[in-house]
Amino acid sequence: MVRKTRLPIFPDDYLEDKAEEYDNSKWMERNQKRTTSLSIQYLFDDRLNFNNTPEIQLGDSFIFLDLGCGSGYSSEILIKNGYRVVGIDILHDMLLKAREKKRHLKSFKGLELILADINNLPIRAKCIDHIISISSYNFIIHGLKNYGEKVKLLGDTGKYLNNILKKNGRIVIEFYPKDDSELKIFNKSFINNGFEGFMIKSNPKQKSGQTFLLLKKKL
């Protein structure tokens, strides 16, 4: 079971019995839902309204891509806010939990679920309004040791996410870079591929730990 005192190990903490434990954890549910609600607020942060960007409103109807949706905690909050949601996850055991909720809960009926790799999504160009990712984005470089490989993969992914977003699309990434160097390559993967924005940390001096990237597609 993932404890409050450590970060989860990918993919071990999300498979088989541990996927069941994750989905039954009240602490995890509260944490993921609270973080998702905060990320929605960040998505509409006034500080992203620069360079003559048209304002977007909290109540507008949008199609969201939930990257690394897991068992559906983040998707549930997006749906409750009135959004259409496409949930993506690479782990079958986690996505199975979300599919069970879709079958049994009326509020989940409008959720589209896809088993896929964040780095290779079956999504058409310019069909997603906004993207959100809670506690999963740093896993896309899992298993890569070479710095150049990480930079290339992150760059290719940033370019692809730009391609599937509609005009004025925004992204909020909540993740846990292990150090300042890793944070920089994640940030550059967006800035070098058609995005602009900024980051938020609970402690401005921290070099690792929970980080939010607030991004918008350049005009």
DSSP code at position 105: -
CA dihedral 94, 111, 120, 166 (to 10 degrees): -150
Q: Is residue 75 part of a domain?
A: yes
Question: Where residue 63 sits, what CATH number does that domain have?
Answer: 3.40.50.150
Q: Is residue 3 part of a domain?
A: no
DSSP code at position 141: G
**Whole-structure pTM value:** 0.91
Q: Which pLDDT value is given to residue 36?
A: 97
Q: Is residue 170 part of a domain?
A: yes
Q: Which pLDDT value is given to residue 57?
A: 56
- Count up the domains in the chain and report the number: 1
Q: Is residue 80 part of a domain?
A: yes
β-bridge mates for residue 175, sequence order: 211
Q: Is residue 5 part of a domain?
A: no
What φ, ψ does residue 155 adopt, rounded to 5°? -65, -45
Closest to 28 measured CA to CA, from 87, 85, 90, 94: 94
Q: Which pLDDT value is given to residue 1?
A: 44
Q: Is residue 106 part of a domain?
A: yes
User: Is the distance from CB of 159 to CB of 122 less than 8 angstroms?
Assistant: no
Q: How far apart are CA 38 and CA 34, in angstroms?
A: 6
Residue spans of the chain under pLDDT 50? 1-3
Q: Which pLDDT value is given to residue 7?
A: 65
Q: Which pLDDT value is given to residue 175?
A: 93
Q: Which pLDDT value is given to residue 52?
A: 59
Q: Which pLDDT value is given to residue 59?
A: 54
What φ, ψ does residue 187 adopt, rounded to 5°? -60, -45
β-bridge mates for residue 114, sequence order: 88
Q: Is residue 4 part of a domain?
A: no
Domain containing residue 106: 12-217
Model pLDDT for residues 113-134, shown as the tens digit of each residue = 999 988 888 999 999 999 999 9
